[in-house]
Amino acid sequence: MAAGTIKQKTLKTEIGCTGVALHSGLKTSLTLKPAAENTGIRICRTDLLNGAREIIVNWENVVDTRLATTVGNDHGSTVSTVEHLAAALAGCEIDNVLIEVDGPEIPIMDGSSAPFVFLIECAGTVEQSAARTAIKILKPVTVGDENRSVSILPAEDFSLAFEIDFDSSAIDRQERTFQRIGADFKSDIARARTFGFDHEVEALRSAGLARGGSLENAVVVSGDKILNEGGLRFDDEFVRHKILDCVGDLYLAGGPIIGEVIASKSGHELNNALLRAVFADNDAWTRVEASTPSVQEAEQMVSAVA
């Protein structure tokens, strides 16, 4: 059977939620709305007026990567912590959506992408007329140094291998590979929560950050202990969350990526730097129509995994 073209998708109906903003600690309302084909991901700051309201969510508009990914526009309007929602949109294969938020942060919810996946599933999805396009990597690109790096290589599908190494016995060294084909984003990655260390909390709050952070929306590590009463959702929840962040950051490419990503201790800054390096070299990528694999291609992928 031949490969088939994949169509773009948006939400079937609008849906909303409220939650706490991680850094300001303020209550924030969020609404996800259907959008026309080829719209991409756009944010509307409903607390602002006119042109300052709209922000196109893509790699070019990332204006800050400290502790979270922040996007902005030419009017100076910004929205931070977009990566968990972007990861949910990537995992649910949503191409076009309008995000309305009444402040400068996406609510943190439980610190993972799972609440956003739930919203998307409740709203439902609808296939649109236009073909979905993907960014196909044509040659290797690497950013970083010997301590922290992220690379992307040509491949026939998307995969992401991530390793972390923390000076904490509660985390230590963890590595995991996530493959979009044959993998379940909802069960494997979406529920992994953001994490931090208790000794960093005071400094962050003194700097006006993490005022909304709590054991309800983050895994908190103290020495060799996990402070959360329920413990971890996965033995390797820390590296799974780093994969989640990377999936969200890379979805700001403007569509799914066809390539093999290899990350070592990467974060939001390097994830965005990788996209900037890829798109700075016209020989490193091309845009193609996304398609389902043919029977022969699917069999080859299964054989390769086996």
Question: Which tens digits make up the pLDDT trace of 80-136?
Answer: 999 999 999 999 999 999 999 999 999 999 999 999 999 999 999 999 999 999 999
Q: What is the CATH number of the domain that holds 160?
A: 3.30.1700.10
Is the pLDDT assigned to residue 296 strictly greater than 70?
no
Residue 36 has what pLDDT?
98
Is the pLDDT assigned to residue 306 strictly greater than 50?
no
Per-residue model confidence as pLDDT tens digits over 27-84: 999 999 999 999 999 999 999 988 899 999 999 999 999 889 999 999 999 999 999 9
pLDDT band at residue 1 using 50, 70 and 90 as cut-offs: very low
CB-based burial label for 80 (10 Å; 0-12, 13-18, 19+): buried
Is the pLDDT assigned to residue 212 strictly greater than 50?
yes
Going by C-beta distance under 8 Å and a sequence separation of 6 or more, which residues neighbour residue 80? 23, 64, 68, 69, 70, 104, 105, 106
Domains identified in the chain, total number: 1
**CB-CB contact of 86 with 56 (8 Å):** no
Is the pLDDT assigned to residue 4 strictly greater than 50?
yes
Range of the domain at 36: 4-305
Per-residue model confidence as pLDDT tens digits over 146-188: 999 999 999 999 999 999 999 999 999 999 999 875 468 999 9
Q: Which of 23, 84, 241, 268 is catalytic?
A: 268
Residue 181 has what pLDDT?
59
Is the pLDDT assigned to residue 301 strictly greater than 90?
no
Is the pLDDT assigned to residue 302 strictly greater than 50?
no
Is the pLDDT assigned to residue 305 strictly greater than 60?
no
HEC-encoded secondary structure of the chain: CCCEECEEEEECCCEEEEEECCCCCCEEEEEEEECCCCCCEEEEECCCCHHHHEEECCHHHEEECCCCCEEECCCCCEEECCHHHHHHHHHCCCCEEEEEECCCECCCCCCCCHHHHHHHHHHCEEEEEEECEEEEECCCEEEECCCCEEEEECCCCCEEEEEEECCCCCCCEEEEEEECCCCCHHHHCCCCCCEEEHHHHHHHHHCCCCCCCCCCCCEEEECCEECCCCCCCCCCHHHHHHHHHHHHHHHHHCCCEECEEEEECCCHHHHHHHHHHHHCCCCCEEEEECEECCHHHHHHHHHHHC
- Respond yes or no: is residue 23 known to be catalytic: no
Is the pLDDT assigned to residue 244 strictly greater than 50?
yes
Per-residue model confidence as pLDDT tens digits over 200-210: 877 777 777 77
CA-to-CA distance for 166 and 146, rounded, in angstroms? Answer: 16
